[in-house]
Structure 1
Amino acid sequence: MKTAHDLVTQAKNMTQEISLHEAEQAMLAADVLLDVREADEYAAGHLRGAVLMPRGLLEFKLSASPALSARDIKVVVYCKTSGRAALAAQTMQAMGYLNVASIAGGYDAWVAAGKAVVRPEQPSYE
């Protein structure tokens, strides 16, 4: 019986995972940057230009989005630590997407490296 860890390891072996350094260039060249975390995670902070598409809804949202229907678009995917992103990349490949890469270490590694993120403005009560 496979565990979630086994499935993530398998997905990482079957997909392209890029380093943070490579991610910056890949994001500039990408047609879309997908954040596959949950809405509350995205709202707390995300990479600039990222489109929220939670992992649990990925297949449905991709199928319903004409802008993402071309299978040759360049896609960069990330999540919190890279597990969901690897699974998302594997799913997208199974759906026929040809150019999908996930960011190694995900959002947490991006933040730990001191890279810029978008965070909601906190209200001032003064």
Structure 2
Amino acid sequence: MTRTVLDMIGEARARVSAVGPQAAAEQAAAGSVLLDVREAEEWQHGHIDQSVPAPRGLLEFFADPTSPRHKVALEPTMRVIVVCASGARAALAAATLQDMGYTDVAVLEGGFNEWKAAGMPTCEHDYAGI
């Protein structure tokens, strides 16, 4: 039987923890990495300050320490909180990070939309990460 994307998202959410906006902000202030897997166009029109942009399609390349495209902010032993617009892409990305050996991964519950709804700070500037 074919697995649907909803099946995959459900499986990913079942194995990855989630944190709310306030907890994510506190953890980021304490050194956790906020990893934004939205597309560059989404990111430049609003994102969490200090978040690391890594569009979902490039995640594996940015997360792999042996890749020439590796982002130094991403280390398998660091706490990584994955952000997308609503949480679905983040769940898939977080599961991928776990598969790659990342040991402390969570998803921002409700994504960037929930972050904004909670009145948390955002910023805008051009994406220059690719």
Please give the TM-score of this superposition, normalised by the length of structure 2. 0.84
In structure 1, distance between residues paired with 2:103 and 2:17: 11
Partner of 2:120: 115
In structure 2, distance between residues paired with 1:22 and 1:31: 11
Whether contact under 8 Å (1:82, 1:103) holds in the other structure is: yes
Q: 1:31 to 1:109 in 2, by over 3 A?
A: closer
Equivalences for residues 44-123 of structure 1 within 5 A: 44-63=45-64, 64=67, 65=70, 67-68=72-73, 70-120=75-125
In structure 2, distance between residues paired with 1:80 and 1:66: 21
Partner of 1:43: 44
Whether contact under 8 Å (2:63, 2:75) holds in the other structure is: no
Aligned length: 121
In structure 2, distance between residues paired with 1:45 and 1:91: 24
SS in 1 for 2:112: helix
24-33 vs 70-79, greater mean Cα deviation = 24-33
Whether contact under 8 Å (1:29, 1:74) holds in the other structure is: no
Whether contact under 8 Å (2:97, 2:105) holds in the other structure is: yes
Cα deviation per residue 1:19-62 (whole Å; 9 max; x = unaligned)?
22321222222342110000000010000101110111100121
- Runs of at least 5 residues in structure 1 that lack an aligned partner in the other structure: 122-126
In structure 2, distance between residues paired with 1:42 and 1:66: 17
What fraction of aligned residue pairs are identical, expressed as a percent? 38
Partner of 2:12: 11
- The alignment's C-alpha RMSD in Å is 1.8
Please give the TM-score of this superposition, normalised by the length of structure 1. 0.87
Partner of 1:124: none
Whether contact under 8 Å (1:36, 1:79) holds in the other structure is: yes
Cα deviation per residue 1:51-91 (whole Å; 9 max; x = unaligned)?
11011110012123262564211111100000111111100
